[in-house]
Amino acid sequence: MRGTRVALGCLLAVVLAAPALALRVNAEHHQNTIDFAVVDSSVDNWTAGQDQAETTALVDQLTGHGIGTVVVGMRSVRACLDEGELVVVGIGGPGALPADLAGPGEATVLKGRPGDPDGVFAQVVEALKERYGDRVTTATEPSDTGTVSFVRVDGVDDVRAIPIGYDSNRLRALARSGFRVILALPAQFLPDRAWLQRELDRAASTAGVKAVLALGPLPFLTQAADLRGFADHLRASGLDLALPDLGALPGAAAYGEQLPGLIIRAHVIPIPPGADDHALLVRSHRAEKERGVRLIVLRAPTVDPDARLPLATVLRLAPQLTRDLPGGLELGVPVPQVEVRPALWMEGATLAAGLVLLWLAGRWWVGVPVPLPVPALLARRSRGSERGRPRRRGGPDDEAAGDDGAGELADPGPTPRRSTWSVPHWLVVVAVALAALVGVASMVTESLLLWQLLTLVVAIAGASLAVLAAMGRRLPEPGRWRVVTAYLLGAGVAVATGLVVAALGSRSIFMTGLAPFRGVKILLAAPPLVVAVYGLLVTRDRSRAAALGPIAWVRTAVSAIRLWHLLVAAVVVVLGGYYLLRSGNSGVAPAFELRLRDGLDEALYIRPRFKEALAGLPALVVALAWRRPARARWLPAIAAAIGTASMVDTFGHFHTPLAVALLRTGYAILVGLVLGALAAAVIGWIADRSSRRVDEAPSGTEREEVHR
């Protein structure tokens, strides 16, 4: 199959995927406002001891720098104890408790302030009754300053972590100061759903709240009915749900499925003492550009409960964060991503696009000889499908004919039937049909797992085809233009595959990052293996393999292994392990590389991925320019598959805007071509010098004559 047919097939796949891609791009363009927030505990520390005028001036200063929102969490019993609103009372002391609460047994008893002026004690009692039911009893005692209230919780020795609700007075004060308020959901010891919904409604009406933020596990994960009911309540109340963009937050995917079109991506930045402002700025911009984040929360480090966020740090950092926003963003109320759910016909067209790529990739393997014993039925069908077909130049075995690969295929000699099998056409048809069944089953059952499995298979097939199509069926004629066109063909196939993968991921649950692309490490490891197997099959010595048989051939190959082979294999394994460790959505990277990334992000708006620009794509140019020995060109081709797989994976980051993925890939293609051309020139120069030295070296006869 010629490269022209592959290019036309990829173009057809992109056309089929275009409706879903257009729906995706339209949704991405609706999010053009971003908000910056601080947590309420920091604001409380900054305003402690200030009068109203000083507080107003501070608020004006913060909002003037773009910090317009405060994240307010629920108060807990611990906070009330720290603030002196409650006191833990011992049991058994004379006169320490009202008689009604002085019974034996394990219990916790709390005493409120006389008269409960702020209503805190009543709120605590309500929360404890919601949590512990009839184990909660109350009593009062008179005092000179007012009635003192007590509450006892039987069978519990510590209630400090129990949330008691949002502080209405604090919410009113923040709203009057001009702040927008986002409510943080409690992460543990949650009472029933009705209580939480009442608290949210009360707080929302008090401060005009429009969004809630989850910083820990979401509520009701083990209660499906309550989870759906709470999600319905958020929707009915007009409350958006902000979720952190990094890390797997328990319950995020479940709520994402229930609340499409109401999810805001948030990014929390802990600011330690002595933090590098530039690094924080790049981190913020990267979250906004690459991950669709529309809410940035600044807070003190969470590893130290006593740590505080200095006001001077925020006032110094805020203007940098809000001044030069990327991608046309502007300050304002964060807007959730609109719901993205392609119509059935769009999903069908996208499925067809994926099947086109699978067909192209499968067709490339038709006729490839596989040196394995196969059932007689398969062997007969394979031979029958090839009987009567003329052998063509440029077939999959051309490189086995010799190092030049340009002549007709040499006669492989007698081949035992038990070990000869060529990949038949019907096998490709069966494989594509199975993929189609998986896609249809996913559409009918709405199974995300099946859809992700199909996406992974399409991604692997397209990334492998990109290298195989660029390499061609036979060693082509030399020429720079030929190398460039083959390189662009391979890059184009990878981009087309990436666009189809992006179309397959055009759903809200994927684009918000709540259901990430599964199988990233498999995607990055499989194409190099596929290319390696293909190169081994089309370049092997078929006559020798056929004469020996598969078992004897394996024994001969094993006996030829030397110590340096094992050392090279060990190095390859180590590099492969590091490559896989670096891959995925949260791979590690050394400090110098992080600094280089930051610099490139600032200079180029979005940096190219190193696996593509510095490794895989330059290796593709080297493989295409390689001349002698012809078989060795498949070694850089294996490395090239790393680059094409990484290109497809770029589009598999479904939370990344499509325009950003295209720009990043364009940079990688350009840089890879330039670096690859330089590397190919250096390798060619070294090869020419080595060849010239061999040609100029005196032969044995000449040395003997000189000696005489």
pLDDT-based confidence at residue 295 (cuts at 50, 70, 90): very high
Asked whether residue 550 carries a pLDDT value surpassing 50, the answer given is yes
User: Is the confidence at residue 474, as pLDDT, over 60?
Assistant: yes
User: Beta-carbon neighbour count of residue 694 at 10 Å?
Assistant: 8
- Where is 706: in which H helix or E strand? helix 700-707
Q: What SS3 state is found at 304?
A: coil
How many percent of the chain have pLDDT more than 90? 29
Average pLDDT of span 675-701: 70
Q: How far apart are CA 77 and CA 99, in angstroms?
A: 24
In 205-294, the DSSP E strands lie at: 211-213, 240-244, 263-270
Confidence bin at 215 (pLDDT 50/70/90): confident
pLDDT value at residue 692: 60
Contact 235, 259 (CB under 8 A): yes
Helix intervals (H) in 540-611: 542-548, 550-559, 563-582, 591-604, 610
Q: Which residue has the tokens 């490189």?
A: 399
Greater confidence (201 vs 405) lies with: 201
How is residue 613 annotated by DSSP? I
pLDDT at residue 536 in the model: 83
pLDDT recorded at residue 505: 92
pLDDT at 72 over 50: yes
The pLDDT value recorded for residue 345 is 94
The residue-averaged pLDDT of 598-606 equals 78
More confident residue, 80 or 563: 80
Candidates 193, 253, 183, 192; CA nearest to 217 is: 253
* Section 354-383 average pLDDT: 74
- Stretch 65-72: mean pLDDT, rounded? 90
Average pLDDT, the chain: 81
375 versus 692: which is more confidently predicted?
692
**Strand ranges, E, within 256-338:** 263-270, 295-299, 330-331
Query: Cα(506)–Cα(500) distance, rounded to whole angstroms?
Result: 10
pLDDT tens digits for 633-658? 888 888 899 999 999 999 999 989 99
CATH says 32-74+168-331 is which class? alpha beta
Q: Beta strand 295-299 with 421-422: parallel, antiparallel or unpaired?
A: unpaired
| pLDDT, tens only, 384-423 | 554 545 444 444 545 544 444 433 334 444 444 445 578 8
**Residue 430: predicted pLDDT:** 94
Percent of the chain with pLDDT over 70: 79
- In the chain, what are the domain boundaries? 3-17+343-694, 32-74+168-331, 78-154
Would the pLDDT of 241 be above 50? yes
Can you tell me the mean pLDDT for 202-215?
91
Give the model confidence (pLDDT) of 83-117 as tens digits.
788 888 875 444 567 777 777 778 888 888 888 77
Backbone angles phi, psi at 38, to 5 degrees: -125, 160
Give 607 or 210, the one with higher predicted confidence. 210
Report the distance separating Cα 120 and Cα 149, nearest Å. 11
What is the band of 61 on the pLDDT scale with cuts at 50, 70, 90? Answer: confident
pLDDT score, position 563? 62
Among 323-337, 367-381, 402-416, which is the least confidently predicted range?
Answer: 402-416
Q: Is the pLDDT of residue 542 over 60?
A: no
Check residue 695 and give its pLDDT: 53
The predicted structure's pLDDT at residue 51:
75
